[in-house]
Amino acid sequence: MKALITGIVLLAVSMATSAQPSNAEAAVRQTVQAFYAAFNAHGFDHAADFTTDDWNHINPYGGRTHGRAQVLKELHQVHGSFLKGVSDNIEQLDVRFAGKDAAVATVTSRMSTFTSPDGIRHVNEQHIRTFVLAKRGTRWLIMQDQNTVVAAPPGQ
């Protein structure tokens, strides 16, 4: 009887523990999806809802911008010019946890056609973006992201 009770308690603890990551994962996914919704709406007015004050952004051209205010300034600039009307749609979203308050999300996405400032036309381009998220209170917030263009293998 004692073994049965111990087994039931262990099973209950195991189920409660496994439910936590799925709730956390859902919250991380929601945060990342909020970023893409803002990207596609070309309005980052609610970025404080899904980013930290010290958000760092690394763009596909290797530029790095520090702090939410500066990142938003850059995003408003590019979304008001060459990214105006461009969409970026999630194809795959993976989440891994580095601890109870840290997560990494990796997203592959597909962007609609645009012409970058260097005059290059980008058609049906795939990107991969890595997000580092921190749990602040009860919310998961993006503290860093890096966006990279997925290059076609040589010969294609």
| Full pLDDT tens readout for the chain, 156 residues | 555 454 554 444 444 444 455 899 999 999 999 999 999 999 999 999 999 999 999 999 899 999 999 999 999 999 999 999 999 999 999 999 999 999 999 999 999 999 999 999 999 999 999 999 999 999 999 999 999 999 877 776
Q: What is the pLDDT of residue 4?
A: 44
Enter the tokens of residue 147: 């966006």
Please give the order of strands across the beta sheet that includes 88-99.
64-66, 51-58, 139-149, 125-136, 102-111, 88-99
Neighbour tally for 65: CB within 10 Å: 17
The 3-state DSSP class for residue 23 equals helix
Decide: 74 and 57 in contact? Cβ < 8 Å. Answer: yes
Q: What is the pLDDT of residue 18?
A: 46
HEC assignment per residue over 48-69: HHCEEEEEEEECCCCCEEECHH
- Supply the DSSP symbol for 152: P
Greatest alpha-carbon span in the chain: 75
Which amino acid does the sequence have at 51? T
Decide: 28 and 140 in contact? Cβ < 8 Å. Answer: yes
Comparing C-alpha atoms, which of 62, 39, 53 is closest to residue 110?
A: 39
